[in-house]
Structure 1
C-alpha cells in the first residue's frame, strides 16, 4: 500500500488540510470540515492548534498541476 497523506491543492478552502484528509480516506471534504469544526468547538479550540500543526507537518501534493501558474518569458 503506497498511499500517502498530502494537503490538497484541488480541494482547499484555507490550506488544503481537510481536503487532503478527505482524499486520503475517500470521503467528501465537507464531512471532514464539519467534523473538524465540531471537534474544535467541543474541545476548547484545540482543533485550531492541530490544524496549524497539520499545515506545517503535512506536505503539499507534489503530483498536482497548478492551473494559476504562468510561465515567465
Structure 2
C-alpha cells in the first residue's frame, strides 16, 4: 500500500535535509580547520594526511557487507 505525504510532511523533510546540509558544512569546516592547524604546527604533513585518507578510503570501498 502506497502512502502519500502531506505538504507539511514534505516541508518537514526538506527542513531536515537543510539542517543536515548545515551540519555537514560545519563538520567539514571543523575537520579542515584541525587538519590545517596540525599541518601549520608541523605535527603532520599534507602527505601523511593524504596517505591516511587514501588508506581509509580504500578500506571503506571494500567493506564485506552492503551499506544501506
Per the normalisation by structure 1, the TM-score is: 0.37
Structure (1/2) with the larger helix percentage? 2
Structure showing greater Rg: 2
Per the normalisation by structure 2, the TM-score is: 0.39
Which of structures 1 and 2 has the larger relative contact order (alpha carbons within 8 angstroms, sep 6+)?
Answer: 1
